[in-house]
Structure 1
Amino acid sequence: MNPEEDLARLRQKLAGLERENGDRMYLVDQRAAKAVEESRAAEDKLKQDTGAALDALREQKRRAEAAGGWATESTVGDKVEDDGDFGFEEDDAENERRAGYRAADEPPVAYRPPAPEPQAPPPPPLPVPEPEARPAGRHRRAAGRGDDDDFADTDWLAT
C-alpha cells in the first residue's frame, strides 16, 4: 500500500468523524434548547398557579378580617348565587312528556298501544343426554360435577 493512499483514507475517515460529531452536537444543542423552553413554560405555569393561589388566600384573609377575625365558611367561602338550583327542573318536563304524564288542564292524548306481535311456536325440546355411569368410591362426587381442576389421578412424581 502506498502511504499517500493511507493518508487520504485517514483524512476521509477523520472528515466523516468530524461530520458525525457535528451532527451529534447539533442534536445535543437542539435537545438542550427544547428542554430549556419546556422548563420556561413549566415555570410560567407554576408562577400563574402560585399567583392565583396567593390571590385566593389574600381574599380569604381580607374576608376574615372584614368579619371581625372570624374565619368561618360563611365569611371566607365562595359565595354561591342560588343553592337550591341543581338543574333537575329542566329535565322533569321532558321526562314527564316521555312518560305520558299530563297536567290536569291538558286534554287527554289519544294513545293506543301497538298490537302484540304474534308469537312464534316454541322450538322443539333438546334431547336430554343419558346420565353416565357414576364411579364408585371416594371420587364419585367430583365425577358428578365434571370438575376440570380435579388432579386426584395425577402422578406428580412422574413428571
Structure 2
Amino acid sequence: MSSEDALAAMRAKLSSLEAENTARSALLDRSREEAVAQSREKLEKQGKIQGAVFVRLQERNRRAKAAGGWATESTVGEKPGTERSFGFEDDDAGKDRRTGYRAPAEPGDRPAPPKTEPLPVPPGSGRHRREAANSDEADFADTDWLAT
C-alpha cells in the first residue's frame, strides 16, 4: 500500500467520522429543542395552575378575615355553584307562619314572642295524676333482662 492510498483511506475514514459527528450533533440539537419546548409547555401549564391556586388561597384568606379570623369550613370553604334545596325552608316558613314568628328586620330588633294560651286543666286532677297519665317512660321494674 502506498502512502497516497493510506492517505486517501484516512481521509475517507475522517470524512465518515465527520459526517457521523454532524448527524449526532443535529440529533442532539433536535432533541434539546424538543425538551426545551416540552419544558416550556409544562411550565406554562404549571404556572396557570399555581395562579389559580394562589387566587383561591387569597379568596380563602379574605373570607377568613371577613369572618373575624375564624377559618372554618363554612367561612373559607368553596361555595357550590348550584345549591340544592331539600324543602326544609318551606317547612320552616310554614311553622313560622303558624307560630306567628317573624324574622327581625334589623340585627338589633327582636321578634315578637309567640302568643300562647294556657292548657285547660280538667277538674279534680292533680299535678301528679297528670304526670303519670302523660308519662312517656315505660315501667321496666319487673322485667327480667337476663331471660332469653
TM-score normalised by structure 1 residue count: 0.50
The answer for the alignment partner of 2:31 in structure 1 is 31
Equivalent pairs: percent with the same residue? 46
Gaps of at least 5 residues in structure 1 are 86-159
Once superposed, what is the RMSD of the aligned Cα atoms? 1.5
Shift of 1:13: 1.0
Structure 2 Cα separation of the partners of residues 7 and 78 of structure 1: 79
What is the aligned partner in structure 2 of residue 8 from structure 1? 8
Partner of 1:64: 64
Q: CA deviation at 1:2?
A: 1.9
User: Residues 66-145 of structure 1 correspond to what in structure 2 (within 5 A)?
Assistant: 66-80=66-80, 81-84=82-85
Query: Aligned equivalents of 1:35 and 1:42: distance in 2?
Result: 10
Q: Tell me the distance in 2 between the aligned counterparts of 1:79 and 1:9.
A: 79
Q: Distance in 2 between matches of 1:17 and 1:84?
A: 77
Structure 1: how far apart are the matches of 2:3 and 2:77?
87
1:5-24 deviations in Å (ceiling 9; x for gaps) = 11111111111110001000
Structure 2, unpaired ranges of 5+: 87-148
Query: How far, CA to CA, are the matches of 2:85 and 2:5 in structure 1?
Result: 92
Question: 1:47 — aligned with what?
Answer: 47
Deviations 1:23-69 (A, max 9, x none): 00111111111111111112111211111111100000111111222
| Ranges of 4+ aligned residues in structure 1 off by more than 4 Å | none
State the distance in 2 between where 1:84 and 1:12 align.
85
Which whole-Å deviations, capped at 9, do the CAs of 1:106-153 have from their partners, x for residues lacking one?
A: xxxxxxxxxxxxxxxxxxxxxxxxxxxxxxxxxxxxxxxxxxxxxxxx
Counterpart of 1:62 in structure 2: which amino acid? Answer: R
The aligned amino acid for 2:50 is T
Structure with greater contact order relative to length (CA < 8 Å, sep ≥ 6): 2
TM-score by length of 2: 0.53
Q: Structure 1: how far apart are the matches of 2:67 and 2:84?
A: 22
Deviation string 1:74-111 (CA, Å, 9 cap, x unpaired) is 111122232348xxxxxxxxxxxxxxxxxxxxxxxxxx
CA distance in 1, matches of 2:69, 2:84: 26
C-alpha separation in 1, matches of 2:84 and 2:76: 17
Instruction: Report the 3-state secondary structure (helix = DSSP H, G, I; strand = E; otherwise coil) of the residue aligned with 1:56.
Output: helix
